[in-house]
Amino acid sequence: MQSPIIFRMNHANRYNLLGQIPIFGKLFRDFDKSAGENGIHKAVEDVIKRTETKLIVHGLVKGTIEILKSKPVILVASHTFDFEVLLLIAALPKRDDIFTIAASDLMGAGPNTNSYIIPMFIHKYFDKGSHKLSVKVAKLLHLGPRFSPQIEHKRNVENINYAASKVKNGGLVINFPDGILKKGNPWLSGVGYLLRGIYKKRNAFYARAYIQGTSSFDILRLIPIVRRFFPPINVYFDRPKEIALILNEREDPKEITKNLQADYNRWVFTIRPLRD
């Protein structure tokens, strides 16, 4: 039986629309080519070097590195703008079994990039406001396929289950639970369902990261003269916790999400200096 994610990938490959966008299309094509030839970490590393972004990583102590490098992990992180996805991957220890839950429109980035993406159909949130340039472009150009709300919900459930299977098989799945929404909105409940889906998996971990210093102008880091004026980016990691030890067996996924967000916000408040 074909997995739902494979169907989604093949469907998106027929479009590959991001690679056809004027000016920026070549960036997506080069990234996808590098991801295919050298892996996602090298493709991301090339972008960081090309934009001369200074990345400062905090909290990667020995035990945390070992877990992020080789254990089953769900990693949640802030995602106010667009650059956070690449920055987080760049900050992580290298591993091949890394996947990120992302908006389905990014499935048009290319077949090699697609192999690292687990898509979510979140078009119903497009009109609720977002700081992300990618969302505005996707809305303007109608990138990627659209389905009825019922079908999109069904496929999101399938792909959350698929993400859980990746963790159960030992992989690391990145989830940005604020989705495309503006900072301060409630997290999308998919993260609660994801953790519930692997609750009984022994030696599986929940990890957190916070990315500080991004902005809606990060696309200008591509311009040599301008990029020198951008501040460094800080990525903070917290100590991972075993999932089976932090969940209540009877806890509802939506309640899990609410509690995780409150705890995440308390943790972020302890990080200094905060200038967001």
What is the C-alpha to C-alpha distance for residues 37 and 137, in angstroms, rounded to an integer? Answer: 28
For residues 59 and 45, what is the distance between their CA atoms, to the nearest angstrom? Answer: 20
Burial 154-188 (b: 16+ CB within 10 A, else e): ebbeebbebbbebbeeebbbbbbbbbbbeeeeebb
Tell me what pLDDT residue 12 has. Answer: 43
> Which domains are assigned to the chain?
4-269 (3.40.1130)
Which segments in the chain show pLDDT lower than 70? Answer: 1-25, 106-109, 123-145, 180-183, 272-276
What pLDDT, on a 0 to 100 scale, did the predictor assign at position 13? 44
Query: Tokens 């995602």 correspond to what residue?
Result: 79
State pTM to two decimals: 0.84
Q: Note the pLDDT of residue 153.
A: 87
